[in-house]
Amino acid sequence: MAREVRLPQLGQTMEEGTVVNILVKVGDEVNKGDVIFEIETDKATLEMESPAEGFVKYVLAELDETLTVGAPLLVLGGEDEDVPQSFVDSLKADTSAAEAAPARQADTAVAAAAAEPIKAAGKVLASPRAKKLAQELGVDLAAVAGTGPGGKITEQDVKEAGAAKPAKEAAPTEAKPGATVPVNRLQKITAEKMLKSKREIPCFYLTVKADMTDLVELRTQLNKSGDVKLSYNDFIIKAVATGLEKYPIMTGQLDGEVIRLADSINVGLAISVPDGLVAPILKDVNKKDVKQIALDSQALVEKARNNKLAPTDIEGGCITVSNLGAFGIDNFIPIVVPGQCSIMGIGQITDTCVPDDSNILVRKLMNMTLSVDHKVANGAYAAQFLDFVRKLLEDKSTFGDW
């Protein structure tokens, strides 16, 4: 029996998605769980799996088309099943009825123009991929005629416009004095979140110096003999997770008259990617050793830099660790991620002269700055948490018997 496959909600806050890749065609056989589309949301590009098995009878979605959650994407049926056109027409009618009035008017205009390319008036209507490609090729979207639904500019429209331009004009915008630099999707999302944080989260800030001398030696030894390369972040994340177990209020969020504690201890890791910064979440960190944390971190870094993070990879964090030590930064004050209680900023490890009785020792010290939501935790409680994490990092027995 024929059944439609609709766009699912691939994340808790997802309302719409753009089809950036169609992996099946009419006549293909698909099994439940096969990847059939790649969908771009405002957070990540996600693989969509088929919810059922069957043969593809109709593909209703188009490349670069932005659809709301629940919109029909394709029709599955039996191998020899004849799916009536009336069934497909009913799905298309449902989709049309759900669209906003401006979209319906645009579709009418397209039909009246006999499907000729339309140039959207006023605001430029283009798919996310088309916008990104236009930025890379230096194509002015305002000068591109869109051939998609309602005059929407597709990726192919941009490619053709770019091919028609002289090569010297296709260079991306350079950051020169007086120039304007386009803001990409990730930068916009980051800006919105950070503004929300500054407006709604009253923070206080705590800084301590951790003596990393013994841990530096331990990491060096482990990386010489082990099969998994460990970063300082792996040890820090483990210590933070252990600290959250002892000081659970640091996992909380204010919810009316109560502080609601997290169900599990999940730690975000700030990662630099070509378009900006993301902070995917390491799950159940308190239940894992440093080696497993390293493997999970490496997998998340790979997914982040290949734009393959799923919504579940960036949801549910209690705290985030942001390490700028590799850039020569000694100390900085990070901004709390909305939905989390705190964030820890890590500076570089530096050789520092430390008095010891009548002697002077050279020790490897590292600054840690904790930004805390004062709605959730008070200064004394957060200070105890930070001091506990510091002591864990200074005692290499924290990380097991190697």
Residue 306 has a pLDDT of 84
The pLDDT-based confidence of 167 (bands split at 50, 70, 90) is: very low
Residue 268 has a pLDDT of 95
* CA distances, 263 to each of 22, 266, 285 (Å): 37, 9, 12
Picking from 345, 234, 349, the residue whose alpha carbon sits closest to that of residue 282 is 234
Contact 383, 347 (CB under 8 A): no
Instruction: Pick 102 or 398 by higher pLDDT.
Output: 398
Contact 280, 267 (CB under 8 A): no
Distance CA 133, CA 153 (A): 11
Its pTM stands at: 0.66
- The answer on pLDDT for 37 being more than 70 is yes
CATH superfamily of 190-399: Chloramphenicol acetyltransferase-like domain (3.30.559.10)
Please indicate whether residue 4 is annotated as part of the active site.
no
Cα-Cα-Cα-Cα torsion 139, 145, 148, 149, nearest 10 degrees, comes to 130
User: What CATH architecture applies to the domain 110-176?
Assistant: Irregular (4.10)
Class of domain 3-98: mainly beta
- The answer on pLDDT for 170 being more than 50 is no
Active-site pick, 374, 395, 397, 402: 374
**Where do the domains of the chain lie?**
3-98, 110-176, 190-399
| Structure confidence by residue, pLDDT tens digits, 345-376 | 999 999 999 998 889 999 999 999 999 999 99
Tokens matching residue 168:
């010297």
Strand 35-40, strand 45-49: pairing: antiparallel
Picking from 129, 133, 125, 134, the residue whose alpha carbon sits closest to that of residue 153 is 125
Contact 10, 311 (CB under 8 A): yes
How confident is the prediction for the chain on average, in pLDDT?
84
